[in-house]
Amino acid sequence: MQAPFARLPVAFAAFVACLAVAASALPAGALSITPDPVVFNLDLGGGMLLKGNFDFVGTVTGTPGGGIVLDGSVGAGDITLIFTATIDADSDFGLATTYISRFPNLSPVFSGVGTIPGAGVDVTNGFVGSSSATVHYDSPNELDPGETSDAFFLSFSSISIGDQLNLEYVILPLGTVTVVPEPQVTVLLLLGMGALGWRVRKRLV
């Protein structure tokens, strides 16, 4: 007797492959990150803590409105992720810089780093290479306990679902984020797979 899975139509396999390709090339507005927010609570010795979070603001294409590129070159089609950083009021330390690097693959490819000036603590400097970026808060001072930074952004000439970014302060790990589809997009993809799977099951029964 032929196994049921052997009778699955080629169209179903092709559909799943198309979903994978589509998910890896979603437009900027369809991308998000997880976890959100990125919460850190580091014991730096003697019970002294560095506490805070990075909040994901959203995704745009190119340079955000009102944004200033601090380093690099942001193309009109580049994908840009926007964040803010906050240090908890009861943190024992502030945050002077954040180093963001790709991990563990050769994707994404950084193209620019910048800030969107606002009411928060200034992001005064930024540096970018193809594999990493650094932002500096209110140099030569820092982001103090109880403060939130202005938004800063990271732009990429190439970025895909499943890519990961490490966030660090000097050598201290602050968290790792993974690029994912927006929740609404994920639901639609799952519904599409479920509907086709149900139709295939009916044909096999």
The pLDDT tens digits for 100-154 are: 999 888 899 999 999 999 999 999 999 999 999 999 999 778 999 999 999 999 9
Residue 199: what pLDDT? 53
Residue 23 has pLDDT above 60, yes or no: no
Q: How far apart are CA 43 and CA 57, in angstroms?
A: 27
Strands 172-181, 109-116: pairing kind: unpaired
Q: State the residue range of the domain holding 171.
A: 31-180
CATH no. for residue 84? 2.60.40
List Cβ neighbours of 54 (8 Å cut-off, separation of 6 or more).
Answer: 37, 38, 83, 84, 85, 86, 98, 167, 174, 175
List Cβ neighbours of 51 (8 Å cut-off, separation of 6 or more).
Answer: 40, 41, 42, 87, 88, 90, 91
Any domain includes 50: yes
Any domain includes 194: no
Q: What is the number of structural domains in the chain?
A: 1
